[in-house]
Amino acid sequence: MKNHLFLAFTNLKRRKLRSWLTILGIFIGIAAVVSLISLGQGLQNFIDTQFEQLGADKIIIEPESFGPPGSVSDEQLILDDGDLKTIQNFRGVESAESILTRTGVIENKKEQEVVFINGVSEEYINLFDGSDFVEVIEGRQIKNSDNSKTVVGYNHVYGNIWENELRVGSSIEIKGKKFDIVGVLRKQGNPFDDNSIWIEKETLRNIFEIGNEEGIIVAKADSGFDVEVIAEGIRNELRNEKDQEEGEETFSVQTSAQLLETFSTIFTVIQAVFVGIAAISLVVGGIGIMNTMYTSVLERTKEIGTMKAVGAKNSDILFIFLFESGLLGLVGGIIGILLGAGIGKSVEYVATVQLGTNYLQAIFGWQLIIGAMTFSFIIGALSGVLPAMQAASLKPAEALRHA
Amino acid sequence: MGKNTIIELKNVEKHYQMGDSIIKALDGVSTEINKGDFIVILGPSGSGKSTMMNMVGALDLATKGSIYLDGENIENFTESELAQIRGRKIGFVFQTFNLIPTLTALENVMIPMIFQGVETEKRIEKGTKILKKVGLGHRTGHLPGELSGGERQRVAIARALANNPDVILADEPTGNLDSKTGKEIMKIFTDLNKKGKTIILVTHDLALAKHAKKILKIKDGRLEKQS
Ligand SMILES: Nc1ncnc2c1ncn2[C@@H]1O[C@H](COP(=O)(O)OP(=O)(O)O)[C@@H](O)[C@H]1O
Ligand SMILES: [Mg+2]
């Protein structure tokens, strides 16, 4: 076998540029597969860590319109303190807290920036005890008594939001009210979180004159209860209280698993497109390889006759040609892996540097590389089956008569 | 059949279908070839020489009649059994050399050994030795494209000798060479014959017949007379 591989390999040396071009399809296909899988792996890792941070026992209730656009007024599209009470009192809910968010201008000396301002309570922070979301890398977290204190996102201190540097102890102003920075949040890897600031919830309510709205509510299920069942129960309860039909709710109830599924769903769509491109390219590449292999068999008919004259069995010829087409596929695959790695890393670069998110990291395991190489070899070999069988079945005497 | 007979043809016919008509490329050929023979099959172009060589060398099966190699009728052998027999017992030399252009002289010589499962080291050792014997010890690493016609035919002869076969079959081996080089190649065949190899040489060139111990004249697929 080693020798057949050697003979196949030497045959590659005489191939003309034209026949190399036929593997274009293979490397486009493999590139699509490799970039896809590497990004998919990265996204999966992201989802897994987010899930771990969020905790499997969380249920997130958000205002959301399911009806046609404009069918629900802004007033209707809020969760209020009554809703929060309902959820807190629901059987199986250990605790539930809300986070209120407003966009607002914050001032730092002469500079101004528009950012998300989150209003949180000690109870809300405690819901996520131990997770990166609420971890401060400097100073401390918000307390319920903090009516003029703020904890800022990572970028305020370590990013390039401000010319005039901020740190723990500096202060900023919101709507003319002064807030002292008492802590800095850990880097989350996306601008929504890293550019935001946190203040105490009731303080936010006062400054922005928010009535009884409760923003997004996070509930923690009691251990021993099925999170999905409780989520369904909350959905029914809220629907009854608000007197809404199924499918016309003004809110959504999702477990942390369901929430993160949204990411997967988006990715699945992208995946379908890529898999389509990959499949078409691989078929085209495979046909290209088959075509050049047929040409080779024709060109080398006399050589095949000679090999048979000196003792090559049909199976020897079959393997030599199968290996040759497999190697063609493999070469396409290796180029494809490099190209795919390039694409994956470019997407990662755009996602991290341009968009500032860490959702899309391209991850290349050796399994992916070995797998892609094996796969491309097999595609090549499969494409070569028919030509190789034709070569193997040539009659030696007739093959030798060939010019 | 004598005890020294290694190849025997009995009333061999080979027919080819050409459109509606049938060509009898061989039409009742019988002959015996003994160990140590130097046979020249002589005949004009199209007379059936190559066809006869294909029969003798187990490259093809007869339409009618029987062929015995070392006393065995090859009629019912499978293609891979025939390949094994060719690889071990017969060495082929062709008019157009038929070397693989991407392989060096030594690699070309090693090919028949690959199909007999000879180990790499053994192959290199034997291949190098045989190339030295045909006067190409200094050309082992050259590609066919870098060799002259005479040198290429020597590589081909070395390849034919790779598995130390009893019989060498050469189809117009000097046909693509100038007369001086042709003579050198013929010398190699006569030397090999002296060392005991059975040589069967196919040609239309009467001048080569003088090397033969036995001449088989062929015309229209029939052997004329044996001398
Ligand atoms: N595979 C084949 N198919 C059809 N006709 C063939 C085939 N091989 C040989 N022939 C015919 O058989 C006759 C003998 O051919 P060949 O043995 O090659 O002659 P030579 O080698 O003496 O020139 C020729 O007429 C040739 O055209
Ligand atoms: Mg001929």
Per residue in A62-82, pLDDT (tens digit) is: 998 776 666 667 777 889 999
The mean per-residue pLDDT over the stretch B63-72 comes to 93
| Least Cα separation, residue B181 to chain A (angstroms) | 23
* E strands in A157-300: 171-174, 177-185, 197-200, 216-221, 251-255
Q: Which CATH architecture has domain B5-226?
A: 3-Layer(aba) Sandwich (3.40)
Q: Is B25 in the pocket of ligand 1 (CB under 6 A)?
A: yes
In the structure, what pLDDT confidence band is assigned to residue A27 with cuts at 50, 70 and 90? confident
Q: Tell me how far apart the alpha carbons of residues A312 and B114 are, in angstroms, rounded to a whole number.
A: 9
Contact residues, chain A to chain B, C-beta under 8 Å: 3, 7, 10-11, 13-14, 302-303, 305-316, 395-397, 400-401
Minimum-distance ligand 1 atom for the alpha carbon of B204: 22
pLDDT tens, B3-13? 789 999 999 99
Nearest residue to A81 via CA among A204, A215, A221: A215
Considering only residues B226 and B117, tell me which one the structure prediction assigns the higher pLDDT. B117
Identify from A302, A310, A324, A395 which residue to disrupt to test chain B contact, counting B C-beta atoms within 10 A and taking the largest count.
A310
The mean per-residue pLDDT over the stretch B46-55 comes to 94
Nearest residue to B198 via CA among B69, B72, B97, B110: B69
Domain layout of chain A by residue ranges:
2-51+261-402, 65-249
Burial class (CB in 10 A: 0-12, 13-18, 19+), B34: middle
Looking at the DSSP bridge assignments, the partners of residue B33 are B7
The mean per-residue pLDDT over the stretch A161-175 comes to 92
**Range among A16-30, A238-252, A261-275, A328-342 rated most confident:** A328-342
pLDDT at A341: 92
In the structure, what pLDDT confidence band is assigned to residue B120 with cuts at 50, 70 and 90? very high
ipTM: 0.94
Q: Tell me how far apart the alpha carbons of residues A253 and A243 are, in angstroms, rounded to a whole number.
A: 16
The mean per-residue pLDDT over the stretch A119-147 comes to 92
Return the structure tokens found at A60. Answer: 């997130």
| Least Cα separation, residue A305 to chain B (angstroms) | 9
Q: Is B47 in the pocket of ligand 1 (CB under 6 A)?
A: yes
CA of B204 to the centre of ligand 2 (A): 9
pLDDT tens, B167-204? 999 999 999 999 999 999 999 999 999 999 999 999 99
pLDDT at A257: 86
* E strands in B72-197: 72-73, 90-93, 167-171
pLDDT at A69: 67
CA of B46 to the centre of ligand 1 (A): 6
Helix and strand element counts for chain A (H, E): 15, 10
pLDDT at B226: 61
Q: Tell me how far apart the alpha carbons of residues A251 and A257 are, in angstroms, rounded to a whole number.
A: 17
Distance of CA B39 to the CA centre of its chain: 11
Q: Is the pLDDT of residue B31 over 90?
A: yes
pLDDT at A54: 84
Looking at the DSSP bridge assignments, the partners of residue A178 are A173
* E strands in A54-120: 58-63, 93-108, 111-120
